[in-house]
Amino acid sequence: MENISKQYDQFVDRYREGKAPVSNNEARMFVLDNLVDPTGIHLLDLGCGGGEDARIYEGLGATVYGVDTSEKMIAVAKSNVLRPENFHVANMEHVPFAERSFDAVVSCYGIHYLDKFEQLFRECARVLKPGGLFLFIAHHPLRDLELQKERRYGEQEIATLELFDTKVVLTFPTHTFADYLCPAFFEHFDMRAFKEGIAISLQSTDGLPDYIAVKATKRE
C-alpha cells in the first residue's frame, strides 16, 4: 500500500478535480442504492480518499469512519467531513478499530490496489457486526486484462491506467474474478448481489464493463 499512498499524495488535487459526481457514476450509485437505511449506522469507508463519498454517507445519517494510506487525502477528507476525528491514515488490511465495530464496510475503487485480498476480507469480517453489510467496487478484471502486456488471464502484472485525459496516471496489480471471489471471501461472507457495468457511460468508447460491484453480508 505504500506505493499507492505515494501516487495519491502526488496528484491529490488533480484527482479530486477530475472525479465525477456520485450521481453521474453508476458504480457509486450501486453503493447508495444498497445502503437501504443508513440512519444511525456505523460505517467504515476503506480507501476513503478526500472524503467526498463519506460526506454523502454522513448526509444520509450514518456515523462514518474512514481510512486511507495517503496522508494528503486524509487531510482533505478531514476538511470535508462532519467528524474529522474519525478519519485516519491506515492500511485497510489492518484498521485501528475494535471487533464488531461497524454495521457496514464500504470501499469504492480501493481494494484493487492490494496484491491479494485474503487479509482484507478477514479484517472486514473482524470489524463488522454479525450480519453486517460489505459493499465494494473494483476495476473490472477484463479491463485489467486489456492493460496487461502479455494479456494472459490469471497472471498478475502491474498495470498502468490513465485517468482524466492523462492528468492522473495510476499503477496497480491486475486481478481476476477468482481473486475477488476467493475462498476467504466466502468463508466470511454471503454474497447478496453482483453487478458489472460502465461507471460513467460518456467515458466509455467500446461498451465493455469497467467495474464490478459486490454486496455481501457477514456470516453469523
CB contact at 8 A, 45 and 57: yes
CA distances from 59 to 27, 63, 73, 83, 204 (A): 19, 9, 20, 12, 30
Q: Mind listing the pLDDT tens digit for each residue in 51-82?
A: 999 999 999 999 999 999 999 999 999 999 99
pLDDT value for 24: 58
Q: Mind listing the pLDDT tens digit for each residue in 81-133?
A: 999 999 999 999 999 999 999 999 999 999 999 999 999 999 999 999 999 99
pLDDT value for 5: 57
pLDDT value for 151: 87
C-alpha cell read off for 19: 472525479
Instruction: Give strand pairing partners of 52.
Output: none
Tell me the mean pLDDT in the region 138-167.
Answer: 85
Angle at 116 between CA 209 and CA 122, to 5 degrees: 105
Asked if pLDDT for residue 202 goes beyond 70, the answer is no
- Domains within the chain, CATH numbers bracketed: 2-140+176-218 (3.40.50.150)
Q: Mind listing the pLDDT tens digit for each residue in 169-200?
A: 788 999 999 999 999 999 999 999 999 999 86
Give the closest residue to 172 by CA, choosing from 82, 95, 109.
109
Q: pLDDT-derived band of residue 136, with 50, 70 and 90 as boundaries?
A: very high
pLDDT value for 162: 76
- Residue 155: exposure state from Cβ atoms within 10 A (0-12, 13-18, ≥19): exposed
Quick check: pTM over 0.95?
A: no
Using CA atoms, how far apart are residues 177 and 159, in angstroms rounded to an integer? Answer: 16
